[in-house]
Structure 1
Amino acid sequence: MPNYLEIVRLHEAGFSLRKIAKIVASGRSTVTRTVKIEYCG
């Protein structure tokens, strides 16, 4: 299960979605969806 807070923290730190996916061992679609939910409501 991905750590959603870690995904958001890394995104705010400027990491690319691809790099975040690799760091947290999740798919890019999961990372993209998490970031969109966090910033778009």
Structure 2
Amino acid sequence: MSESGINPNLQNELVYSLSIVTLLLCIYIKSIHFMVPR
């Protein structure tokens, strides 16, 4: 059972960075909605 590749620490960091990117994207989209008048 030797899975060479992604160790748990790296995967954790990946998930963390992914959540930050998603959060930034949400803020970006919200700001665009505020800027563009409908």
Which category describes the TM-score, using the shorter chain as reference length? 0.3 to 0.5
Query: TM-score if structure 1 supplies the norm length?
Result: 0.36
- Which has the higher Rg, Structure 1 or Structure 2? 2
Q: Name the TM-score, length of structure 2 as normaliser.
A: 0.38
Pick 1 or 2: higher relative contact order, CA cutoff 8 A, min separation 6: 1
